[in-house]
Structure formats: C-alpha cells, structure tokens
Structure 1
C-alpha cells in the first residue's frame, strides 16, 4: 500500500502507526484484497481495509474476461464508495453494517477503510447455519429492505444484484436453455414492475454475514452490487446460499413467513407509507420469479454449478410456463 493511503488510514483512526494482521480475502479476479490492519494509538484496535488495485488484476476464475466484465467490476467499487459515503448511515442496529471511516480513489486504486466487525462483536463466520441464525439473517434483510422502501437508489446501481440481466449479456448468450433464455426479458420486467421497490443488498449470501459469538446478532458486508429492486431477490438468493434443494423446498413457506413477519414490523416501526399486506402479497408471489432470475444467470455463467438442482429447475419451468400463458392470453 502506498504512503498516501497509509496516511489516510492513520488520519481516519487517529493512530500513530499501523501493521498488517492478515489478508482476509483476495478480491474477485485479482482486483486487490481485503486486509485487517492493527493500529497503535488511536481509538480502535484494528480496521478492515478494502484495497482495489486494478494493476494487479488476474484472470477470472471461470474464464469470463471481457471489457464489459472489467467495467462492471470497476463500477461496483465506485457504487460501494457511494453506499458507504451516502447511504450506510441510515442502517441501524437491526440491519447492522460496518462504519466507513474513510475512502479515496487514486488512479487505478480505490481504498475503503471500514470498522472491524470482529472487534465490534461480530467475529464469527458461518459455512452453515442453525434455524435461528438463518432466521436472524432474514430479519436483517427485512429491516434493510424496510429502511429503504420507496427510496430512489441515487448513486447506486439502478437495478441491484450482480446477476441483473442488463449487465449480463454474455451469460445470456451462453445460456443453452432456450425456453428460459426466451423468457429472460419477461422475468426481468416482472421484477422491475413490482410497485414496491427498495434497495437490495445485491450479494446477500451467507458468506457476507458476520455473526456474534452466540449467533443472535448479525451484520452484513460487501455492498458492491447494492441498488434498486424488490427485496425478495435478496431473500431468494440468500436462502439458496444456505440450504440444499430438499431443504429449500421443505422450508420455503416457513422461511418466507419469518421474513414477512419481520418486514411488516419493520415497515410499521419505520413509519413507511405502504400497505404491508400488499407488499407481502406482491413479493411472495415474486419469490419463484426472483429465484428463476438468478437461476437464469447461473445456467449461462456456470452450467455445472451445484446450485442448479431439481428444485431450481422446477421453479423455473413453472415460472416460464406461467409467463408464456400470460403472453398467450394477451395475444
């Protein structure tokens, strides 16, 4: 890291010196890394630094290397700085996110200095979750979506999620499932035409949630694909990141009940001027559509992916058939 960026960290934290504790992870396609730094002096023991350095980029792990892919990633880092600079302060303890201490761009580099959630009581990560932990994440999503209900996503992605159709023409072209390919536009329109739009996290997988030691509290990280949309897209994607196909099918109704109960309470407490029952009716009906939207991306991007299973295929077939029937009625 260059001296200028080191000085920014020291100034933001009031520390006299910093030292690297360890790399948390490398960024996708070698675009930099996320590093935990210890601090000497100042008001906190450590910070997490997201350091984007395009000059160090490597090869995409699944072979998707193109100018469009590069521009999407660079835009995602710009969006994340806007998120932390203009939006994240609206999140309270019910949808906890790390505080942003500083951010700066210089040439091909971006620096985001964040609160270390490990030091703030969220040191645990999960590769699998208990029923209560899964529910706590759904409650986080409900509060997040309620917080930004009917907000225009200024500076963020107009349509959030990294698999959004408009940003993934290459993957659509590669899709071999003709019926799903032909329905892709209608699926996207169905989601965009929901009268209840909010801000979605955009990559709300289990790996992006941080847990307290007892699993009762959660926080979320990684806001590169935050933007507009109906919240059920986050819900479908999150559930798919936690459960296998049998569990997805068996627990679908129960998990949606947990989410919508929390969403209604959050909408009421935040005094949002929407009908909570109407939101539930609309978004619950869109759950299989949102699931199919991600399934469409996945089948084009990585046809052999483990998430392409019988549950996903069944939902997709049902959604495509319903959309086709609706089109026939109009015709």
Structure 2
C-alpha cells in the first residue's frame, strides 16, 4: 500500500513544512490494514514526522489477511476497535503522558480512513530499536512501565473493581491487552489444555478485580520500545491495546519478549525476581510523585503474586492461538502451573 500523495501533502502542510523531501517506508500494518512511514520534510521546524495511515477493509474484503489464519469477522472487528482505541489514545492521552511516547500532531478520521501524524522519536533522541538488549536497557523498559502504571493508577475505592478511570469516556479498552479473554473466544474454543481452559475465567477475574488498577500498554513487547543510543532511556509506541488492567500484564508480556528460554527454569526465575525488584522499586518511587496517597508497598504486595497469574492468562491465549509458539516452554508452563495451583486447581500431568 502506498499512502496517497494528497495525504502526504496534507501532512506537510499541517506541520508547517514547505514540502516532503522523501518518504521512508517503515512497515506495513498487521493484516495489511495500512502503512507506517517517515516523512522527511523540507522547511518548517521538524525535519521528519511519522505517519500512520490506516485504510480499513470491510469484513468480507480479501485484503484483510491474517498471518496465522484467524480470518474471522470477530478478528476484523477487534482490529477496527483497536485502531479506534489508538486514535482515542493519541487524541486524549498521549500529549499528557509523562512516560515518553510520540506526541500527537494530527488526527483525522473519514469513513474507513484514519490518519495519525506523530512526533518522530528518532529526532527526540530515541533512535534505536533492538532485537535483544543488555540488562540496563531491560531495566529502562521496566522503569518506563512503572512510570506509566504509576501515572494512571487508580486508588482503592475510587471506582468499581475491574474499572479504570476514563476508559469508557475516552474510548480506550475497558480491559487492555490484545489477549483479553472476552475478545478471544475463538482461541479459547480451540484450546486443548483443559485445565487452563476451565480456569480461564477465574484467572481473568483475579486480574480484573484486583483493588489496584491502572492503564496497561497492552502490547509492551521489546519491538514496541525505542531506545536512546546509550540504551538507558526508552519511549514506547503502538497503543492499539491500551486500557484498564493490572500492571503485571505488561510486565509479563515484556519479559516474554526478552527472556532466554533456552536457559534453565531456575536461571529465568532468578532473573525475573531481579526484574520485579527493579520494576517495583521504580513503581513505588513514581507513585510518590503521582499518587502519594497510594501505598506503594501495598501495591507490590497485591501485584507481585499476580505475575504468574498474568502469565497463565497470556499462556491461555498463546496455547489456543499458536500451540507451537516458542513462548510456550518449560518456564512458562511452570508459571502457569504455579498460578493454577494458587487457585487450588489440580494439575493433570
């Protein structure tokens, strides 16, 4: 897909540029729903901007191809909803988010077209992406998550269990993450792990009714973080699945993208404990800044045991969606069993 010339010209005009020097393709969007490009600009105050151009097919369109074969009307509708959520995020939240994210410069919607014009993070100093990272960069991502979760934390008794402030009024997912149970009935239906299948609703309830809820990024994998050249600071992108939830969902998804599963379970457990220590230390410090009335120690006491529950919830999705995926392994199975045993579920081996 190529972004229409009239759209490119509109973007240049909207940010005060004289023209566009070149268009750099970054990637096509999932299932062929659009394109992400960098526009190198002539004139104006910005040397470049990022453009996310989304052209939504109808439910029967042959262009809506899912890489793993999940071509259903439900999958299509979930994608439509996810792009609308991202639009709402950039309209109402991004420019007020203290954890580094692309600032929103322009949002337009017309019928099945969505245009997002965003700050170019590479110009802001976050020019690097990594397929693997060193420990200091890993901790930088966890600190980003901690700051994000702390800013949008909801205190005890301020809302009903399972809700997060303003998700409905500003159009975010009521429950964030792309694997949320209510949005994945097809994957649950084909799940062969009957023990995990029978516990799915219980796992979801424990996470959604914990007394501390926040906004979760919802897809906090390594590929969605941009790093400074030194690797000691990060910004995050891709907010299609941002919404309410327990912060452990983001932490487990992130660690699933950086852990070396070829190592022993014991080694990974030790690494994860150190990561959780770093995350909760940063979270408590950030809570003092954003919500000093919330007891950070109590948040850790409530959330830390939910790390394995969040992973079991993710494992429920993965084993239905792609049973041979590399994220299903000895370590993740042990975490799922730990979560199920904490619920009093008998594990059939």
1:222 is the counterpart of 2:238: yes
Deviation of 1:323 after TM superposition, in Å, equals 1.5
**Alpha-carbon distance between aligned partners in 1 of 2:22 and 2:243, rounded to the nearest angstrom:** 32
1:61 is the counterpart of 2:67: yes
Q: Which residue of 2 aligns with 1:113?
A: 117
Deviation of 1:53 after TM superposition, in Å, equals 1.2
**Alpha-carbon distance between aligned partners in 2 of 1:21 and 1:185, rounded to the nearest angstrom:** 46
**Alpha-carbon distance between aligned partners in 2 of 1:3 and 1:13, rounded to the nearest angstrom:** 16
Greater per-residue helix proportion: 1
Moved more, 31-40 or 8-17: 8-17
- Give the 3-state SS of the residue equivalent to 1:318 in structure 2: helix
**Alpha-carbon distance between aligned partners in 2 of 1:37 and 1:224, rounded to the nearest angstrom:** 22
Query: 1:90 touches 1:147 (CA, 8 Å); kept in 2?
Result: no
- Give the 3-state SS of the residue equivalent to 1:22 in structure 2: strand
Q: Work out which of the residue numbers 313, 323, 326 in structure 1 matches 2:333.
A: 313
Matches within 5 A, 1:1-331: 1-2=3-4, 5-55=7-57, 57-92=63-98, 95-150=99-154, 151-152=164-165, 153-154=167-168, 155-245=171-261, 246=263, 247-325=267-345
Give the TM-score of the pair, scaled to structure 2: 0.90
Moved more, 191-200 or 310-319: 310-319
Give the TM-score of the pair, scaled to structure 1: 0.94
**Alpha-carbon distance between aligned partners in 2 of 1:278 and 1:4, rounded to the nearest angstrom:** 53
5+ unaligned residues in a row in structure 1: which ranges?
Answer: 327-331
- Give the 3-state SS of the residue equivalent to 1:114 in structure 2: strand
**Alpha-carbon distance between aligned partners in 2 of 1:8 and 1:157, rounded to the nearest angstrom:** 30
Deviation of 1:7 after TM superposition, in Å, equals 4.4
- Give the 3-state SS of the residue equivalent to 1:321 in structure 2: helix
* 1:284-327 deviations in Å (ceiling 9; x for gaps): 0100000111111000000010010001111112212221359x
Deviation of 1:125 after TM superposition, in Å, equals 0.4
**Alpha-carbon distance between aligned partners in 1 of 2:312 and 2:55, rounded to the nearest angstrom:** 34
- Give the 3-state SS of the residue equivalent to 1:242 in structure 2: coil
Query: 2:151 touches 2:291 (CA, 8 Å); kept in 1?
Result: no
Query: What number of residue pairs does the alignment pair up?
Result: 324
Query: 1:33 touches 1:50 (CA, 8 Å); kept in 2?
Result: yes
* 1:260-306 deviations in Å (ceiling 9; x for gaps): 00000000011342111110001101000001111110000000100
Deviation of 1:3 after TM superposition, in Å, equals 5.3
Deviation of 1:86 after TM superposition, in Å, equals 0.4
5+ unaligned residues in a row in structure 2: which ranges?
Answer: 155-163
**Alpha-carbon distance between aligned partners in 1 of 2:308 and 2:43, rounded to the nearest angstrom:** 51
**Alpha-carbon distance between aligned partners in 1 of 2:128 and 2:16, rounded to the nearest angstrom:** 27
- Give the 3-state SS of the residue equivalent to 2:340 in structure 1: helix
